[in-house]
Structure 1
Amino acid sequence: MSETTGTTAGALLIAGSIATDHLMSFAGKFEDSLVVEQLHKLSVSFLVDDLEIRRGGVAPNMCFGLAALGLRPVLVGSAGEDFSDYRSWLERHGVDCESVRISESKHTARFVCTTDSTMAQFASFYPGAMSEARLIELAPIVSRVGEPAYVLIGADDPDGMLRHTEECRQRGYPFIADPSQQLAFGEGELIRELIDGAAILFSNEYESHMIEQKTGWSADEVLAKVGLQVTTLGADGVRIKRQGEEDIVVPAAKDVAAVEPTGVGDAFRAGYLAATAWGVGLERAAQVGCVLAAYVVETVGTQEYHFTGSDFVARLEASYGAEAAAEVRPFVG
């Protein structure tokens, strides 16, 4: 293809949150246990029917997807001493976890949620060790694994995100801005700092508008600050924008039986970056991302999918044609 991603070598450092989700189900209705007049004295407990613990966090989700496509991504983040089982899982699936910082005092971040029969929820998020991501320096990691093709800076401790971004600028590491969930909480100054100078800016369509609103930049001004803007459009696929070039719009993969959307964006990014490492074109990279995202949306859990190389290529061909399959087959087939 004539429009290439331009990067074929170098380590992929994936920085972001590391977390687990603790999900419980309550067969009744929360509202039956609440007395409106006494909410200021609220103290209730619920006997739940099950507990499901899922592996999560944006950085491990992306690393898992990259490893599934044959790469060995480097996970950069902070976790607690309770990370050992999760680490083992990731390492068995090909993720380099050697640079994960282990907190001496805090547990791995976790999301705890109970859902009742009406889909109402009580939830809490414990950032825990994630708050120590700001203590991680990238240079020692680069000394170990070599110069990075990209450092992706995903949603994490805001100070940690800022430190990684500033270090990338200072040391000349190409970086990818992927602030995602932190956009809702970050102020304009922080978001501007995280985005300015990024080789790639990832977001979904809603987040792209939030970026414009919070930074005060127009869509054209945002694009002028980055090398490439990749915006996921949900069921409509993905749009890639570059200054002075026609937009590339890629439809979503075909015949997707959606079950659970959590982690879909992370999977798209993993597929896109894997294809970038292969050196294929921008359109093809987006197609690979869309196919990997399809596997995630069809499963419950962000790292529970699996496929063979031939399965992946066949699905790519079904959605995007024989030429796409032929180009990708040498890397996964």
Structure 2
Amino acid sequence: MRIVVTGSIATDHLMVFPGRFSEQLIKEQLERVSLSFLADRLEVHRGGVAANISFGLGMLGLDPVLAGAAGRDFSEYDAWLRAHGVDTSVVRVSETLHTARFVCTTDQDQNQIATFYAGAMAEAPRIDLAEITERVGGASLVLVGADDPAAMLRHTETAHRLGIPVAADPSQQLARLDREQARRLVDGARWLFTNEYEAALLQERTGWGEQDLLDRVGTWITTLGPGGVALARSGEDRLHVPAVPTDKVADPTGAGDAFRAGFLAGLAWQLTDEQAAQLGCVLATTVLESVGTQEYKLLASDLLARLDTTYGHQVARTVAPHLEGVS
């Protein structure tokens, strides 16, 4: 199964604020916010949703195709991704702009305030998904992740026209989309990814209620942080998959992307949706325990032990043959 992952490629600047954002906000003054948070730690890491998801898929041996726009400073990042199993041959590299920047501050309750500079992502609408799929010998699935909105719409329409199943993952870009754009991005998707907040925002943006959305997509996957994951399909009972517990949370950035990588890998291995979500939860917890979205290591023995402990022996036995190449 060849998976094409579209979306942002970025550099993450991650800071930690040793207090609570909520304690700095004055309810009566929210329309005139002027705040500065003194961070006591800074980490600079590679990131971007498409690159993060592709990295996770590459670590699991899936040979994903990364389709996004990067800047003239991409060469070192390119080498890193290729070394970790990502096909970057179709990445568009800008001649004038820098790779996008994600600047994020996390407080002691794991709440986050972030700013994203698009940079070279502005050239993403020039990427032709039809040409890409032809160059890589076809695609079994296209994930449309957060990107320039025009690129997201173009990729979605092209994938539908070519008959390629779409995993819609609008995430951070939901706030920029108007009603028609939001509807076009999710309508007809085989899989829809949101977190709990984005699920509510998506309904507000589209004007569609939960059932309206379920009638238009295949499986709606909602990540719930420490509450695990909910999977919903029209006409079926909602399925809940608990999170993999840990007492070593280092940073939440990238956990959602890692979940998506694990879930998509499960689909490629023809696992059930529940088993795919369980594998995704294992990867999400692995990322939670490290700072940075691509700084984690995967060991088959660790992944299987977590699957066994949290979800049972049968799940671990089912997944085990697919992890033989993960060291």
Partners of 1:255 and 1:111 lie apart in 2 by 26
User: Contact 2:2–2:62 at 8 Å: present in 1 too?
Assistant: no
The alpha-carbon deviation at position 202 of structure 1 amounts to 0.5
Give the number of the structure with larger relative contact order, counting CA–CA contacts within 8 Å between residues 6 or more apart: 1
Partners of 1:182 and 1:213 lie apart in 2 by 14
User: Contact 1:11–1:148 at 8 Å: present in 2 too?
Assistant: yes
Unaligned runs of 5+ in 1: 1-9, 28-41
Task: Look up the match of 2:46.
Answer: 55
Seen in structure 2, the aligned counterparts of structure 1 residues 113 and 196 have a Cα distance that, compared at 3 Å, is closer
* CA RMSD after TM alignment: 2.6
Seen in structure 2, the aligned counterparts of structure 1 residues 238 and 52 have a Cα distance that, compared at 3 Å, is closer
Seen in structure 2, the aligned counterparts of structure 1 residues 172 and 55 have a Cα distance that, compared at 3 Å, is same
Task: Look up the match of 1:11.
Answer: 2
SS of equivalent to 1:225: coil
Seen in structure 2, the aligned counterparts of structure 1 residues 122 and 276 have a Cα distance that, compared at 3 Å, is closer
The alpha-carbon deviation at position 61 of structure 1 amounts to 0.5
* 2:269 corresponds to 1:287: no
Partners of 1:286 and 1:112 lie apart in 2 by 28
Task: Look up the match of 1:128.
Answer: 119
User: What count of residue pairs does the alignment treat as equivalent?
Assistant: 306
Matches within 5 A, 1:1-333: 10-23=1-14, 52-112=43-103, 125-333=116-324
Seen in structure 2, the aligned counterparts of structure 1 residues 123 and 275 have a Cα distance that, compared at 3 Å, is closer
TM-score by length of 2: 0.87
User: Contact 1:256–1:294 at 8 Å: present in 2 too?
Assistant: no
Partners of 1:50 and 1:284 lie apart in 2 by 37
Larger radius of gyration: 1
Partners of 1:306 and 1:179 lie apart in 2 by 27
Seen in structure 2, the aligned counterparts of structure 1 residues 26 and 174 have a Cα distance that, compared at 3 Å, is closer
User: Contact 1:254–1:318 at 8 Å: present in 2 too?
Assistant: no
Higher mean C-alpha displacement, 249-258 vs 280-289: 249-258
SS of equivalent to 1:81: coil
Q: Which stretches of structure 1, 4 residues or longer, exceed 6 Å deviation after superposition?
A: 24-27, 113-116
Higher mean C-alpha displacement, 179-188 vs 104-113: 104-113
> Alignment identity in percent?
54
- CA deviations 1:192-229 (Å, max 9, x no partner) are 01001101000011111111111111110000111111
TM-score by length of 1: 0.85
The alpha-carbon deviation at position 51 of structure 1 amounts to 5.7
The alpha-carbon deviation at position 305 of structure 1 amounts to 0.6
Task: Look up the match of 2:29.
Answer: none
Q: Name the amino acid aligned to 2:284.
A: A
The alpha-carbon deviation at position 50 of structure 1 amounts to 7.6
